[in-house]
Amino acid sequence: MTPQEILDTPDLIAAGVAGDNVRRRKHGGRTTFVRVFEVHVEAPPATLPPRTDAGEFRIVGRPSSAEAAVHAVRAAAALAGGRPVTGFTLHELEGLGQLSDVLTPLREAGLSAVAQLAVDAVADPFAAVAAVLDAGLRLNTIAVQELADEPAARLETCRLVQRLQEAGAACQAFAPLPRTLSTTKPTTGYDDVKQIALARVVVDNVPSIQVDWALYGPKMAQVALTVGADDVDNVSAVDPGILGTRRSPLEEIRTNIRAASLEAVERDGLFNARTQA
């Protein structure tokens, strides 16, 4: 099924099969997930909560200054104990100065990778990617901030991601579902399934199609894994310890993946498999 046929068909099953066929050709049943401990850029904690086991320490939030961003990276690196520290979406850093001037001190402070580039939120995504690479950092995920209304625009977004990867972005994942969810005009499951399948078929040079566990929840994540996605982001690294081991975040995500007849593989913040998974 071609990208245009995915957009045009009312048959969600056929669209999902097209995405799943590409996913299985690339990954078989292997499905990765990462447990993330979030560090707010303006309020990094001094210690970790009890029962925390993270494969990634991720700095979130818009920094008030470049100095605040560097401080947050140092604080996260101290907590991480050698585990990968990632952070920021690039449009949150653009207001702090030239990206090249902002990113290099972050790497020197301990940042391993920029967490996300939202292609529709930066003025020039190609220049943004170049700034990340010039600073000696990795770019983990390309994302979209809002889902375009027109199907043709959604297809063009996927093709833009493909071109960014061809230009050397070297990102590991594309997250095609929107980061911003409108309360007045929300996406539908119909839109989301088509978008995942379309992304997997079009963006064939990015290894993984990703869905955010915290943002979209277990049900949408499981559906996404059957129509082209193969990576689940942002599983909680903190186990509240109130529902028992079988209801821990780790067991919940593993159960969710296995229920889709897939193999659950835990990874770290640089997309390497964790040995204890």
Give the pLDDT confidence of 107-150 residue by residue, as tens digits: 999 999 999 999 999 999 999 999 999 999 999 999 999 988 88
Q: What pLDDT sits at residue 184?
A: 61
Q: What pLDDT sits at residue 240?
A: 78
DSSP code string of 119-164: TTTSS-HHHHHHHHHHTT-EEEEEE-SS--SSHHHHHHHHHHHHHH
Q: What pLDDT sits at residue 277?
A: 42
Write out residues in the chain with pLDDT < 50, as ranges: 277
Residue from 104, 209, 112, 190 nearest 151 by CA:
190
Judged by phi (left if over 0) then psi (alpha if -120 to 50, else beta), residue 135 lies in alpha
Question: How is residue 154 written in tokens?
Answer: 């959604």
Instruction: Name the helix (H) or strand (E) containing 260.
Output: none
Domains, the chain, in order of start with CATH, read 3-266 (3.20.20.70)
Q: What pLDDT sits at residue 190?
A: 83
